[in-house]
């Protein structure tokens, strides 16, 4: 394998890379960096999460950028604030021996006036989220007419989040002569659409096979019911004493609830989701990077840009709506040559969703049994013994106390001392799991599932019909925006969204059912010039729903009918909890 200097990078960049501990380029870096430096052709690059995509596009831009000009020469678009901040930070580290090269990171949730002042001072490289970038273009604070490179990072996720309109506006502001660089971890049809619309005869480079999961990650599945899903999560944590994990949830409310439970049960955990302020999110991520938090409960979007190389596990508390997101999630572990485990907790309804994931990963899930109390106690006991065995003795500080300690304990034999020591550290753990049931032998259906004839039910949600669909250019992000514009309530929970051709369905917290209907009726809302009609759906005999004036058949009216067809979002204002010491005995 070549070195970074072999790839055509100048010495100040190589020196910065050596300072950061970069020794050899990854496969995607080895392929992409010389291609960008030596050619002005557009580029499509595909590599799994954690393989060094940021360095693959930023290092050649740093190499080629003109330090003598303060005009913006590169615009890098990222789907989330966290990822944009991470990219900006990486570029600053890579260019620290190039004092005249400046990078500015722009994103929502931060003071736009301060960002405008930074842009006025000049920056060759701008990293931004699509929304804030468009805002700055409209204010004429960001001028992209001199741009030589446009980077679309995590392009698939930008489309998933509904940023196509923003991408179009940014493209309009850039010259036709620019070089467009598209980087993505997965390769859905939508990414091909970006390449067709925004690129000219792009060169393609890959690291491994497109969409395939990392070879360093193994995939395990645990069969759960809704009643024991959280208990299974705790047992998986307990049977892995050194766990350092992200627990992925589908909604902000679920994220906060799971984090709250873990904290209350004595785990060193915290939450990361969109209801936190930027300052709170930065604080949580910093604690997690320093391993002051052992289990981070997060939504998909919030975890983007969280660059941690030593995660032992990724746990899918719930599988994602979008099938490609599983690959993004699992790619958080098994990085930088480390091994990792990606775990999926699935009930009877969700188990079929593993098959399409396996086809993309080209790997099989290994079915595992939920750990029993006996297995957990054994694992924790020997973990404790290993810690004692590996503890270094600081004789200079304890020698003065040893005579008194020996005298106090001289009546006990060696065996008695070991038993007392183990009991002191382990009694509460043994007590907790003494009569713990085997979760693998519990009934396979929850009571709510049996009442609904095996269908997944959500008694806290009301399901609505809306007379807009794909033909109206509606997507999940735009529908969520339309709902939010009605001013129903800032804490309203939006559940499953199902976009069909000429009409759609969405779920909202049942407590806001009448407010939702009243809001849409009184606001006389329209979408792209079409009057919006919203009605609540009602159950027909046999469990089918009716309602709405859209006509036609409503395929699979269950909110979970199509994996990757719907998106969840919510507006729950979760309360922030103080971090607690990681101590499972307090359960």
With a pLDDT cut of 70, the percent of the chain lying above it is 83
Q: Read off the pLDDT of residues 246-257 as tens digits, 9 standing for 90 and up.
A: 999 988 889 999
23 shares its domain with 134: yes
In a domain, 563, yes or no: no
169 shares its domain with 28: yes
DSSP class of residue 21 equals T
CATH value at residue 496: 3.30.70.330
Would you state the pLDDT for residue 584? 42
16 shares its domain with 132: yes
Average pLDDT in the 263-269 region? 90
CATH value at residue 325: 3.40.50.300
In a domain, 496, yes or no: yes
120 shares its domain with 27: yes
Confidence of residue 457 (pLDDT cuts 50, 70, 90): very low
Confidence of residue 189 (pLDDT cuts 50, 70, 90): low
Would you state the pLDDT for residue 518? 86
Average pLDDT in the 116-132 region? 95
Looking at 188, 207, 226, which one is the last position of a domain?
207
Cα 16 vs. chain centroid, distance in angstroms?
Answer: 29
99 shares its domain with 145: yes
The answer to which of 46-55, 279-288, 392-401, 550-559 has the lowest mean pLDDT is: 550-559
Dist CA 532 CA 481 (whole Å) = 14
- The two tokens of residue 351 are 């188990």
Output the CA angle 392-398-399, nearest 5 degrees: 110
368 shares its domain with 397: no
Greater confidence (584 vs 140) lies with: 140
HEC assignment per residue over 494-526: EEEEEECCCCEEEEEEHHHHHHHHHHHHHHCCE
504 shares its domain with 360: no
Q: Which domain holds residue 112?
A: 5-207
In a domain, 562, yes or no: no
Q: Read off the pLDDT of residues 148-183 as tens digits, 9 standing for 90 and up.
A: 999 998 877 777 667 888 888 999 999 999 999 998
Looking at 169, 189, 207, which one is the last position of a domain?
207
The answer to which of 80-89, 116-125, 328-337 has the lowest mean pLDDT is: 328-337
Q: Read off the pLDDT of residues 303-325 as tens digits, 9 standing for 90 and up.
A: 665 667 789 999 999 998 777 77
- The two tokens of residue 524 are 């006389």
Dist CA 43 CA 56 (whole Å) = 11
In a domain, 534, yes or no: yes
Dist CA 158 CA 156 (whole Å) = 6
Would you state the pLDDT for residue 451? 38
Domains identified in the chain, total number: 4
304 shares its domain with 411: no
Closest CA to 247 of 293, 204, 290, 280: 293
Mean pLDDT score across all residues of the chain: 81
- The two tokens of residue 251 are 């909604």
In a domain, 315, yes or no: yes
Looking at 207, 234, 252, which one is the last position of a domain?
207
Residue pair 507/518 in contact (Cβ under 8 Å)? The answer is no
Would you state the pLDDT for residue 70? 92
Q: Read off the pLDDT of residues 563-578 as tens digits, 9 standing for 90 and up.
A: 222 333 333 333 333 3
Dihedral of CA atoms 209, 211, 212, 215 in degrees, nearest 10, equals 100
Confidence of residue 221 (pLDDT cuts 50, 70, 90): very high
In a domain, 552, yes or no: no
In a domain, 566, yes or no: no
In a domain, 451, yes or no: no
Would you state the pLDDT for residue 61? 97
Highest-confidence segment of 11-20, 207-216, 266-275, 563-572: 11-20
237 shares its domain with 126: no
537 shares its domain with 509: yes
Would you state the pLDDT for residue 49? 65
46 shares its domain with 191: yes
Confidence of residue 197 (pLDDT cuts 50, 70, 90): confident
136 shares its domain with 221: no
Which residues, at least 6 apart from 554, have a Cβ–Cβ distance to it below 8 Å?
Answer: 500, 503, 505, 545
Average pLDDT in the 54-77 region? 95
């Amino acid at each position: 394998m070549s070195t970074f200097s072999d790839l055509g990078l100048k010495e100040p960049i190589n020196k910065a890379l050596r300072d950061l501990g970069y020794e050899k380029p990854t496969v995607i870096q080895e392929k992409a960096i010389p291609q960008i430096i030596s050619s002005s052709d557009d580029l499509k690059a595909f590599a799994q999460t954690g393989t060094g995509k940021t360095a693959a596009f930023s290092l050649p831009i740093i190499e080629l950028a003109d330090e003598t000009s303060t005009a913006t020469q590169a615009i890098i678009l990222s789907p989330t604030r966290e990822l944009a901040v991470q990219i900006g930070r990486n570029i600053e580290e890579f260019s620290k021996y190039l004092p005249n090269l400046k990078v500015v990171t722009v994103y929502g949730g931060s003071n736009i006036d301060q960002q405008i002042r930074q842009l006025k001072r000049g920056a060759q490289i701008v990293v931004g989220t699509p929304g804030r970038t468009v805002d700055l273009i409209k204010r004429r604070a960001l001028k992209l007419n001199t741009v030589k490179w446009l980077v679309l990072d995590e392009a698939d996720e930008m489309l998933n989040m509904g940023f196509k309109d923003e991408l179009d506006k940014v493209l309009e502001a850039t010259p036709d002569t620019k070089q467009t660089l598209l980087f993505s971890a997965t390769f859905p049809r939508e990414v091909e659409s970006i390449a067709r619309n925004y690129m000219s005869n792009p060169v393609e480079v890959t690291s491994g096979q497109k969409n395939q999961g990392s070879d360093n990650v193994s995939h395990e599945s645990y069969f759960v019911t809704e009643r024991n899903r959280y208990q299974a999560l705790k047992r998986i944590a307990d049977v892995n004493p050194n766990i350092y994990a992200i627990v992925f949830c589908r909604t902000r409310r679920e994220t906060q609830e799971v984090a709250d439970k873990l904290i209350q049960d004595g785990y060193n955990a915290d939450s990361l989701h969109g209801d936190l302020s930027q300052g709170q999110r930065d604080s949580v991520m910093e604690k997690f990077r320093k391993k002051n938090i052992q289990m981070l409960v997060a939504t998909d979007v919030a975890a983007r840009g969280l660059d941690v190389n030593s995660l032992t596990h990724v746990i899918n508390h719930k599988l994602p709506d979008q099938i490609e997101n599983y690959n993004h999630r699992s790619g958080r572990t098994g990085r930088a040559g480390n091994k990792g485990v990606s775990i999926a907790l699935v009930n009877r309804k969700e188990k079929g969703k593993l098959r399409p994931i396996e086809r993309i990963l080209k790997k099989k899930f290994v079915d595992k049994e939920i750990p029993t109390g006996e297995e957990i106690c054994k694992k924790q006991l020997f973990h404790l013994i290993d810690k004692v065995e590996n503890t270094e003795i600081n004789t200079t500080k304890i020698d003065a106390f040893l005579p008194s300690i020996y005298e106090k304990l001289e009546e006990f034999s060696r065996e008695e001392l070991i038993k007392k020591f183990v009991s002191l550290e382990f009694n509460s753990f043994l007590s907790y799991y003494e009569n713990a049931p085997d979760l693998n032998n519990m009934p396979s259906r929850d009571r709510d599932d049996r009442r609904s004839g095996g269908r997944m039910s959500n008694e806290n949600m009301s399901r609505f019909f809306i007379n807009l669909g794909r033909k109206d250019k509606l997507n999940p992000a735009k529908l969520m925006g339309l709902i939010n514009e009605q001013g129903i309530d800032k804490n309203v929970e939006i559940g499953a969204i199902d976009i069909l051709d000429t009409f759609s369905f969405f779920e909202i917290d049942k407590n806001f059912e009448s407010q939702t209907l009243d809001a849409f009726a009184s606001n006389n809302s329209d979408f792209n010039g079409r009057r919006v009609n919203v009605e609540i759906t009602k159950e027909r005999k046999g469990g089918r729903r009716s309602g709405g004036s859209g006509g036609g058949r409503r395929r699979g009216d269950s909110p979970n009918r199509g994996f990757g067809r719907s998106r969840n979002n919510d507006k729950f204002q979760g309360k922030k909890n103080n971090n607690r010491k990681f101590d499972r005995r307090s359960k």
